[in-house]
C-alpha cells in the first residue's frame, strides 16, 4: 500500500465526529488517541492506541472490577 495513502487514511480516522466516537472507538483527535473498552460476565478489557507515539496497549482481565482504563493510562505514561 502506498504510504501516503495509509497516512491519509489514518488522518481521516482521527478526525472525530461530534461526541468523539467513531469506528467503534472513542477518539481524541488532538492527541491522536483511540480507545475502546468493554465488559461482559466478569471479564473486562481496555484498548488504547496512540498513533502519535506508535503505541498500543491492551488490558484483558477475568475480573470485571479491574480498573483497566486506569492501568492503560498509567502504562502509557510509563512507556
Predicted model pTM: 0.69
d(CA 60, CA 38): 10
Indicate the number of domains in the chain.
1
d(CA 34, CA 38): 14
d(CA 1, CA 48): 25
Confidence at residue 48, expressed as pLDDT on a 0 to 100 scale: 92
pLDDT digits (tens, 9 = 90+) for 52-69: 889 999 999 999 889 999
- Sequence-distant (6+) residues with CB within 8 A of 19 are none
Q: Is the separation of the CB atoms in 35 and 47 below 8 Å?
A: yes
Domain that holds residue 58: 3-78
Amino acid at each position: 500500500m502506498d504510504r501516503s495513502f495509509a497516512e491519509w487514511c489514518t488522518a481521516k480516522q482521527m478526525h472525530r465526529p461530534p461526541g468523539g466516537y467513531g469506528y467503534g472507538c472513542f477518539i481524541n483527535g488532538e492527541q491522536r488517541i483511540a480507545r475502546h473498552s468493554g465488559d461482559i460476565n466478569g471479564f473486562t478489557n481496555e484498548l488504547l492506541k496512540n498513533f502519535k507515539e506508535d503505541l498500543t496497549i491492551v488490558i484483558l482481565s477475568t475480573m470485571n472490577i479491574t480498573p483497566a482504563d486506569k492501568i492503560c493510562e498509567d502504562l502509557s505514561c510509563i512507556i
